[in-house]
Chain A
Amino acid sequence: MSETKPKVRAPRVNHETKAFWDATAKGQLHVGKCDDCGEHYYYPRPLCPFCFSDKTRLALCTGKGTIYTFSVNEGREPYTIAYVTLDEGPTILTNIVECDFSKLAIGQKVKVVFYDTGAGNAVPMFTVA
């Protein structure tokens, strides 16, 4: 299915982020979830950035969200960077792909698509829902 997609730059992965990135290979997007204060947060990290609790885990997302803002990087191969607000709450940095950039607008509903890095994980990008 992803044969026609270009390979994308692999993320740096460390002990903290390995579970998040391993799950992307299965097409899963997670955010951090704190079981003490209940907040969803991004990027995931072991101590909750809201209450400093260590009772945190990864929470699976639906992959649906809304464009908070975006910018089309002009040049020979234009690409679109964006912040997308996930239905779970956190707003995350990503790319918008596989659509007509000139028709994009803030508020556009989007859904996640994964791009294989060739390094055992995939990068979560978004396209119009």
Chain B
Amino acid sequence: MSIKGKAYIAGIYEHPTRVALGKTLPQLHAELAKGVLADAGLSKNDVDAYYCAGDAPGMGGIDMIEYMGLKNIRQIDSTETGGSSYVLHVNHAAQAIAAGHCKVALVTLAGRPSADQKEQVQMRGGGESPPASGFEAPFRPSIVNMYAMCARRHMYEFGTTSEQLAWIKVAASHHAQYNEHALRREVVTVEDVINSPLIASPLHRYDCCVITDGGGAVLVVAPEIMKQLKRPAVKILGAGEASKHLMGGKVDLTFSGARWSGPKAFEEAGVTQKDIKYASIYDSFTITVLETLEDLGFCEVGKGGKFVSDGNLISGVGKLPFNTDGGGLCNNHPGNRGGMTKILEAVRQIRGEAHPKVQVPNCDIALAHGTGGLLGSRMGSGTVILGNQDS
């Protein structure tokens, strides 16, 4: 069964906070739920499905459903694929709606890494450690060096340069200057990026996303619900999911799971790369964007460096406007999970509600892609393609 046209995104909400001192994690989730329901024009009792990932406290769904006082829940999904989880949630919600299991699905993401650090909050202990950890932890993998190794290999195989990667941050910064909530609003140049300190070679500080608190929420609804609402309809056209990993030691770090999730999404949506007017691309690091753009087929494999150069990702300047909210590189990466904010900006673009300086004219079809986990080992990938009512 295809999800094409079977479900709509009726509400979005991005928490304005970037440092959530004094607010608890469940409180952030609940504030996000309240915000997204207000955006859609629905109420708490309309929600009959709830989706959350590993960022939610306790046992996720069941604890948050109680905390928020939801009482009509018929579908619960706590799929956890790191920062890409929320793209998968939208897909799963659309599938559940298409199958008639629910009509109003609430998805929330929240995090407070900055406030946790400042307030020295004890994180809960995990369960059984991942099977690979015994063979990895002794070597001190960090988030940055596990992406940096991908960049190094991409440079080696394809001649990609630090200057080309820098263009991705430059484009994000051009967009972030217009977002009043963005953590970093200053416009930067290629030189600024490559002169910023090396964190893990070959990645510099400005190749890395920001660390922020807050979160986002999205409401996925059945077509008959959408018809009753006043907000612009954003139709879900197709989605794809994949998990890419180290393949038992046959390691290839020059591509991401988008190579597998992307084609599924395009096929279901019945559109091609040329139809995409705007793309939200997960930008934990500049290299994440570059590999994802290649894997999604926006350019040839190995040509990503050339593709992103000279402002090609800047709205109003280049051919593929991306992350017009400033993305994770400049605006927001709540709870170290950027998949949700990717969906939110794609919805704003289709609604025509992005900032006027970055709004893509006649944005009828947009794509959002999430990457969770680590580009340098194992990741969950989710791609969703959205369209307006006429798409």
Q: Which residues of A contact B (CB under 8 A)?
A: 8-14, 16-17, 21, 31-32, 39-43, 45, 49-50, 68-74, 79, 81-83, 85, 89-95, 106, 117, 123, 125
Kindly report which residue of chain B lies nearest to residue A12, judged by CB atoms.
B134
Q: Which B residues fall within an 8 A CB radius of A?
A: 129, 131-142, 144-146, 148-150, 152-153, 156, 197-203, 246-251, 253, 377
A69 to B254, CA, bound (A): 11
Selected from B200, B248, B377, the residue in CB contact (under 8 A) with A90 is B248
In the assembly, what is the distance between CA of A117 and CA of B139, in Å? 12
Are B137 and A9 in contact, CB atoms less than 8 angstroms apart?
yes
**Nearest B residue to A82, CB-CB:** B149
A40-B249, A45-B131, A72-B200 as given contacts; A11 in contact with B138, CB under 8 Å: yes
A10 surroundings in chain B (CB, below 8 A)? 138
Whole-angstrom CA separation of A92 from B251 in the bound complex: 8
Q: Which of B129, B133, B200, B248 contacts A71 (CB 8 A)?
A: B200
A9 touches B149 (CB 8 A): no
Given A40-B249, A42-B135, A90-B249, A74 and B197 contact (CB-CB distance below 8 Å)? yes
- Report B-chain residues with C-beta under 8 Å of the C-beta of A40: 249
Q: Are B248 and A70 in contact (CB under 8 A)?
A: no
Q: How far is the CB of A99 from chain B (nearest CB, A)?
A: 15
10 nearest A-B pairs in the assembled complex, by CB-CB distance:
A90-B249, A71-B148, A41-B248, A91-B251, A49-B248, A42-B249, A69-B153, A43-B135, A71-B145, A69-B149
Residue of A with least CB distance to B254: A69
Q: A11-B134, A70-B152 are in contact. List 18 more A-B contacts (CB 8 A).
A: A9-B138, A14-B134, A17-B134, A17-B135, A42-B135, A45-B131, A68-B153, A69-B149, A69-B156, A70-B149, A71-B144, A71-B148, A71-B203, A72-B201, A73-B140, A73-B200, A81-B139, A92-B135
Complex CA gap A14/B132 in Å reads 11
The reply to whether B150 and A69 contact each other, CB–CB distance below 8 Å, is yes
CA distance A72 to B129 in the complex (A): 26
CA gap between A123 and B137 in the complex, in Å: 11
Question: How far, in angstroms, from A71 to B153 measured CA to CA in the complex?
Answer: 10
Which residue of chain A has its CB nearest to the CB of B149? Answer: A69
Contact flag A43-B132 (CB < 8 Å), given A73-B140, A74-B201: yes
Closest residue of chain A to B142 (Cβ to Cβ) is: A73
Taking CB as reference atom, which chain B residue is nearest A34? B248
Closest chain A residue to B145 by CB distance? Answer: A71
A-B contact pairs, 16 of them (CB 8 A): A12-B137, A13-B134, A39-B248, A45-B131, A49-B247, A68-B153, A70-B152, A72-B198, A72-B200, A73-B144, A74-B197, A81-B139, A83-B251, A89-B249, A90-B249, A91-B251
CA distance in complex: A32, B202 (Å): 32
Q: Is the CB of B149 within 8 A of A41?
A: no
Note all chain B residues with C-beta closer than 8 A to A50. 248
Contact A81 B138 (CB under 8 A): no
Q: A73 vs B145: C-alpha distance in the bound complex, in angstroms?
A: 7
Residues of B within 8 A of A68 (CB): 153, 251, 253
Residues of B within 8 A of A21 (CB): 134
> Given A81-B141, A83-B253, A93 and B198 touching (CB < 8 A)?
no
CA gap between A39 and B137 in the complex, in Å: 25
Q: Who on chain B is nearest to A10 by CB?
A: B138
Please indicate which of the listed interface residues A21, A49, A69, A74 has the most CB atoms of chain B within 10 Å of its own CB. A69
A105's nearest neighbour on chain B, judged by CB, is: B156
A42 neighbours in B (Cβ, 8 Å):
135, 248-249
